[in-house]
Structure 1
Amino acid sequence: PNPNPNPNPNPNPNPNPNPNPNPNPNPNPNPNPNPNPNPNPNPNPNPTKTKPKPKPKPKPKPKPKPKPKPKPKPKPKPKPKPKPKPKPKPKPKPKPKPKPKPKPKPKPKSIIQKLVLT
């Protein structure tokens, strides 16, 4: 009826009892918990209120000053020789006419003189 009732009831019951219970339990326990914790601490709560930085104005290049042209020296004009002015002849002063001296009036002679003269 059954030539081999139980020749091999469990041919391979447990060939490898614990080959690899957990092949990769935790290969990288904490690779990168927080890759970028705080890239920008205060990004910009109100981006519209930021003033754009004024671009620096390019400094104007100084224009080279034109070299002053040397002014031509004026040629000295020859001074005209002064003509000798004719000396005015002195006008002869009219000699004042001598005033005639008044003739002295004869003093009235005293009586004694009259007597002596005569």
Structure 2
Amino acid sequence: MQLVFYSLTGQCQRFVKKLGLEQVALELSVTTPLPTVDTPFILLVPSYDQGDVEVVDEFLADNHLHCKGVIGSGNRNFGPNFCKTARRYAQTYQLPLLYEFEFNGTEQDVDYVKGILSHES
């Protein structure tokens, strides 16, 4: 399963590297043109205010039909805002919220997400 991610502070990018997918995962960036994805993918996003993830909003507007679920990264100190971006996308696009983890994830988080990616293939 293709993994598409956005990493504002580098936490999601570090997690993708732990997954061993840094060469094949698709990173969204404000400095490069947004891709069009016509195959199934899982979206990985950090927890930020809506204005900080506009590039993801734009990407999903054109590509959400191929999104099979959302994974969120965040900080539990955010309280109810922990993984709020992933929850918002899941609700807005009626997608499953597949997993939530803190910071750049533990080895258990990595193993779990690897299972999600292989199961969703």
TM-score range, shorter chain: under 0.3
> Which structure has more strand as a fraction of its residues?
2
Higher relative contact order (CA 8 A, sep 6+): 2
> Which structure has more helix as a fraction of its residues?
2
When normalised by structure 2's length, the TM-score is 0.11
Pick the structure with greater CA Rg: 1
When normalised by structure 1's length, the TM-score is 0.11
